[in-house]
């Protein structure tokens, strides 16, 4: 599954989200400005 770290105020982030939405792949959006990062390992997972 694709995980998108998304900032809605960023044009590059919005464009990337649009690409993933159009790809028909399964994905999860993580709005990192609104949510706490509770586990550092989330940042380095493959």
**pLDDT tens-digit readout, 1-42:** 888 999 999 999 999 999 999 998 999 998 888 876 665 555
Q: Where are the beta strands (DSSP E) in the chain?
A: 2-5, 27-30
What pLDDT is stored for residue 22 in this prediction?
95
Buried b / exposed e over 12-34, threshold 16 CB at 10 Å, is ebeeebeebeeeeeeeeeeeeee
Q: What is the pTM of this model?
A: 0.67
> Tokens 């709005």 belong to which residue?
31
Task: Please state, in angstroms and rounded to a whole number, the distance separating the CA atoms of residues 32 and 27.
Answer: 15
Alpha-carbon radius of gyration of the chain: 11
> Tokens 């586990």 belong to which residue?
39
What pLDDT is stored for residue 46 in this prediction?
52
């Amino acid at each position: 599954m694709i995980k998108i770290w998304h900032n809605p105020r960023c044009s590059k982030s919005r464009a990337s989200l649009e690409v993933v939405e159009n790809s028909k792949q399964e994905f999860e959006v993580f709005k990192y400005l609104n949510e706490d990062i509770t586990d550092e390992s989330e940042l380095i997972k493959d």
